[in-house]
Structure formats: structure tokens, C-alpha cells
């Protein structure tokens, strides 16, 4: 399942900071700056982009752990770019380093762990929760 995944694969994802992704809008703070939950989603998306082209049909990845620091505020109007790099493969477990930058500086960094899953089986298990 991981034969075609290269350690060192990188992915990126960017977004402009708007009022929709501020701490106020996410409910994670009271100031109009880029929200930590938005940065987390951007970092995860960068990791998804790093490995998606290499996954077998019918598989996907799910995030299970994220250890990050959000070290600088970004005001509305600037752009944030996240970069994820695959640094370790252990069976179905994938470990990434993640970094985020705005137009002026690095604003966050950390590690992110994802697992390769069979998409249909994963969704069936999730949907089964509704049956109880």
C-alpha cells in the first residue's frame, strides 16, 4: 500500500486570510487574525496534497495526530501557505513535518500523523454509528 510513497514527498496549500477564517469567526479567539483551527486545516491539506498522487485507488488518508505551534499572528488580507513533508513511513502510518508561512514570516510548525485507509470500509464503519 505504501510502495509508491516516497519519503520526502511535499505538498502545499494556500489561502488568503479573510474574515471567514479569523479567530473570531472560528470561535477560537476574540481578534480578527488568522485562526489556529484554520492553520491546522491548511497544514493537514498540505499533507494530503503531498501523498494523494501516490495512493492506490480506493485509498485515502486520515489525520490522527497533530502537534503544532502557532507562533505569529496574520492579519486579514495576507496569504498563508502551508507545507507538509513526508518524513517517515511505518506500514500505514505516515509522519509529516508541517510549516506555515504568511507573506512576511513563518507563523507555525510541527508534526502531523496520518494513516492510509481503505475509503469505502472507513466510511461504512463511520455510517454504522447511525444504526445504533
Catalytic residue among 44, 59, 85, 112: 44
2 in active site: no
Catalytic residue among 14, 15, 26, 36: 36
54 in active site: no
Catalytic residue among 2, 59, 61, 70: 70
Residues 6 or more apart in contact with residue 61 via CB below 8 angstroms: 47, 48, 51, 52, 55, 94, 114, 115, 116, 117
- CA distances 104 to 26, 75, 101, 107, 116, Å, are 23, 11, 7, 9, 34
44 in active site: yes
Nearest to residue 112, comparing CAs of 125, 128, 93?
93
What residues act catalytically?
A: 36, 44, 70
Amino acid at each position: 500500500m505504501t510502495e509508491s510513497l516516497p519519503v520526502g514527498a511535499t505538498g502545499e496549500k494556500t489561502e488568503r486570510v479573510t474574515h471567514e477564517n479569523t479567530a473570531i469567526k472560528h470561535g477560537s479567539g476574540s481578534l480578527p487574525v488568522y485562526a489556529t483551527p484554520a492553520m491546522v486545516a491548511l497544514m493537514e491539506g498540505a499533507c494530503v496534497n503531498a501523498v494523494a498522487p501516490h495512493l492506490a485507488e480506493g485509498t485515502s488518508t486520515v489525520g490522527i495526530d497533530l502537534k503544532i505551534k502557532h507562533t505569529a499572528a496574520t492579519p486579514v488580507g495576507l496569504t498563508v501557505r502551508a507545507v507538509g513533508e513526508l518524513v517517515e513511513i511505518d506500514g500505514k502510518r505516515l509522519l509529516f513535518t508541517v510549516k506555515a508561512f504568511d507573506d512576511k514570516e513563518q507563523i507555525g510548525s510541527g508534526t502531523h500523523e496520518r494513516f492510509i485507509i481503505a475509503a469505502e470500509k472507513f466510511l461504512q464503519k463511520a455510517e454504522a454509528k447511525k444504526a445504533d
